[in-house]
């Protein structure tokens, strides 16, 4: 799994079990392999390079994934224990309105290097069927984390799964870590550790109003944000501002919390008290979490922060489930989430 925050390649060794329709998982080993500056730049600019260079990058990134998986297997003595690899890849192009999406990382190359079956290209079939192709994690939210009323993942983009008549509805909320990290880089830091800079700043009401006025927030679900759309919704207002970085970070955090609460308000839980599981790198941002807690408490929602393994690797765990369902030829993408014409069994399979 590689997210829009470009912090590294998440690898999870997961054991899944299904008994009479009830799924459970164990996260047995995990690692985040940091990207070199070279790979960060390659992935960041992948969508702007000539076609020939893009295809070569697609191949070389697939081989890179295969090499890192091999190193992970060797480090954790997992030889002959891994049944297959599910690779999400790195999203470099996403225009579902034109029935097109692309996740970098050639599956054939991963399979050739790792010598294992590979399942990848998990979104394309749903997009071809008229869906958003995103979010695709709700199948895991339902089968592995269904006891929570709201499931919020805060990565480069924040997304949420909610329940409507017992079925999942999911959508991207707003840009998140990618914009917070971008602001932090102005101060020579890769991230705002625990939200300390944001906490030291002051709210900029005019900037907040401008952020909240983005057209995307008025769209109904199902909806999704490409990396470029997420950047365009927040980056110009924040990164081109002459205001202090601390004040802009503070305002961005309040904005994200406001949009999370707005999503909760659209999907009331009907309980005295509901629960929201928060995962992704944003769960380590104490100031952001405190703001989300305060914003959601108004709607009777308590925030739950799980152990570090689930925080960091929930999406990778779910990719393992998506691959397992594909292997079994069972539905792994819900049209109720993406808006596609039908549920689908997504993913291309490469057997070596």
**307 has a pLDDT exceeding 80:** yes
Question: Please, what is the average pLDDT of the chain?
Answer: 94
Spatial distance between the Cα atoms of 298 and 292, rounded to a whole number of angstroms: 10
pLDDT of residue 52: 97
State whether residue 150 is helix, strand or coil. strand
**145 has a pLDDT exceeding 80:** yes
**282 has a pLDDT exceeding 80:** yes
pLDDT of residue 158: 93
130 DSSP assignment: T
C-alpha torsion 169→175→178→180, nearest 10 = -120
For 14-42, what is each residue's pLDDT tens digit? Answer: 999 999 999 999 999 999 999 999 999 99
pLDDT of residue 229: 80
- Give the position of tokens 């295969």: 66
Q: Which residues contact 253 (CB under 8 A, 6 or more apart)?
A: 180, 195, 198, 285, 287, 288, 291
Across residues 173-181, what is the average pLDDT? 93
pLDDT of residue 135: 82
Q: Which residues contact 213 (CB under 8 A, 6 or more apart)?
A: none
For 206-248, what is each residue's pLDDT tens digit? Answer: 999 999 999 999 998 888 887 778 777 787 888 888 899 999 9
Task: Say if 8-132+315-350 and 138-310 have the same CATH topology.
Answer: yes
**116 has a pLDDT exceeding 90:** yes
- Rounded to two decimals, the pTM is 0.86
**74 has a pLDDT exceeding 90:** yes
pLDDT of residue 79: 96
Give me 97's structure tokens: 């309105």
Across residues 276-284, what is the average pLDDT? 96
State whether residue 76 is helix, strand or coil. coil
Task: Quickly name the fold that domain 138-310 has.
Answer: Nucleotidyltransferase; domain 5 (3.30.420)
Across residues 149-157, what is the average pLDDT? 94
**203 has a pLDDT exceeding 90:** yes
Distance of CA 14 to the CA centre of its chain: 18
pLDDT of residue 222: 80
Q: Which residues contact 312 (CB under 8 A, 6 or more apart)?
A: 10, 30, 32, 279, 281
pLDDT of residue 163: 92
pLDDT of residue 261: 98
98 DSSP assignment: G
Q: What CATH code is assigned to 8-132+315-350? A: 3.30.420.40
Distance of CA 216 to the CA centre of its chain: 18
**165 has a pLDDT exceeding 90:** no
pLDDT of residue 211: 93
Across residues 107-133, what is the average pLDDT? 97
Instruction: Spell out the domain ranges in the chain.
Output: 8-132+315-350, 138-310
pLDDT of residue 22: 96
**156-160, 288-292, 340-344: the lowest-pLDDT one:** 156-160
Query: Which has more pLDDT, 184 or 165?
Result: 184
């Amino acid at each position: 799994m590689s997210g829009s925050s470009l912090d590294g390649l998440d690898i999870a060794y997961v054991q899944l079990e299904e008994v009479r329709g009830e799924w459970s998982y164990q996260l047995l080993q995990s690692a985040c392999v940091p990207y070199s500056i070279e790979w960060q730049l390659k992935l960041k600019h992948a969508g702007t390079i000539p076609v020939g260079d893009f295809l070569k990058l697609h191949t070389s990134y697939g081989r890179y994934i295969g090499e890192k998986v091999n190193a992970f297997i060797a480090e954790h003595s997992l030889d002959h224990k891994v049944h297959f690899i599910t690779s999400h890849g790195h999203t470099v192009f996403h225009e579902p309105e034109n029935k097109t999406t692309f996740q970098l990382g050639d599956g054939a190359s991963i399979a050739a290097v790792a010598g294992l079956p590979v399942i990848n290209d998990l979104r394309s079939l749903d997009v071809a069927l008229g869906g958003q192709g995103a979010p695709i994690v709700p199948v895991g939210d339902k089968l592995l984390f269904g006891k929570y009323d709201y499931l919020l993942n805060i990565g480069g983009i924040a997304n949420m799964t909610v329940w409507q008549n017992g079925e999942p509805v999911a959508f991207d909320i707003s840009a998140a870590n990618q914009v917070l990290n971008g602001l932090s880089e102005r101060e020579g830091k890769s991230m705002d550790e625990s939200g300390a800079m944001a906490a030291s700043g002051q709210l900029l009401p005019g900037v907040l109003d401008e952020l909240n006025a983005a057209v995307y927030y008025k769209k109904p679900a199902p909806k999704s944000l490409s990396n470029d759309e997420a950047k365009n919704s927040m980056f110009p207002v924040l990164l081109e501002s002459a205001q202090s970085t601390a004040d802009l970070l503070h305002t961005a955090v309040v904005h994200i919390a406001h949009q999370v609460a707005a999503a909760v308000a659209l999907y009331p839980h009907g309980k005295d008290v509901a629960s929201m599981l928060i995962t992704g790198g944003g769960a380590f941002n104490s100031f952001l979490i405190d703001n989300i807690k305060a914003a959601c408490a108004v709607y009777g929602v308590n925030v739950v922060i799980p152990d570090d393994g689930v925080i960091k690797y929930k999406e990778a765990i779910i990719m393992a489930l998506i691959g397992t369902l594909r292997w079994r030829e069972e539905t792994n993408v819900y049209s109720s989430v993406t808006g596609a014409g039908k549920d689908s069994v997504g993913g291309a399979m490469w057997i070596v």
